[in-house]
Amino acid sequence: MIINKKPPYDRTEIDVIKSQNDIQKLLLEYGAEGIQWIVFRDDLPRLAFIIEANINGTRKKVGVQIDPPIIRPKNSPQGINFKQSMRVMYWYVKSKLESVAYGVKTFEKEFLDDIVYRLSDGREVKVGDMILKQVAEGKDINFKLLGDGK
């Protein structure tokens, strides 16, 4: 079991907008074609982007959505440390992109949990959420990739 550690950057002075801009810059440097921030009032923004990936020898445009970590200060369990949460997200995204760029993992393995998948009924879900739900329910994992035409 991995031991929980105190999240870093609790004293960061880097604001949320600067972290968002840093993440956008990273994504563009690594080849993202579209970047979107999904913003909700009084909550952290979600990141969505499209990137072309080589999956099993085939180039595909893949949608990815990453939810930022929710880091709550110990003295305020209801509040969110927005600056700290977004700085952790910056380093999280950076490490995933570098892992793929340096050949440590393939894109689909590194981002599997965050890849957006369209179900046959038109709903969009994250692949990781879909797989975990099926595993938790004891079901076989049985789905077709988008564009398979089956």
Show me where the domains of the chain are located: 16-136
3-state secondary structure of 107: helix
- Which positions ≥6 away from 28 have C-beta within 8 Å? 35
Of 84 and 150, the structure prediction assigns the larger pLDDT to 84
Residue among 20, 5, 1 nearest 87 (CA): 20
As given in the structure block, the two tokens for residue 99 are 């892992």
- Per-residue pLDDT at 150: 42
Cα 85 from Cα 120, distance rounded (Å): 34
3-state secondary structure of 77: coil
Of 80 and 135, the structure prediction assigns the larger pLDDT to 80
- Which positions ≥6 away from 72 have C-beta within 8 Å? 78, 79, 80, 81
Report pLDDT digits (tens) over 46-81: 999 999 988 888 898 999 999 988 888 776 666 888
Q: List the end-to-end C-alpha distance of the chain, in Å, as a whole number.
A: 40
* Among the ranges given (30-44, 51-65, 67-81, 88-102), the one the predictor scored with the smallest mean pLDDT: 67-81
- Per-residue pLDDT at 6: 81
Cα 65 from Cα 81, distance rounded (Å): 21
Cα 27 from Cα 93, distance rounded (Å): 8
> What share of the chain has pLDDT > 90, as a percent?
39
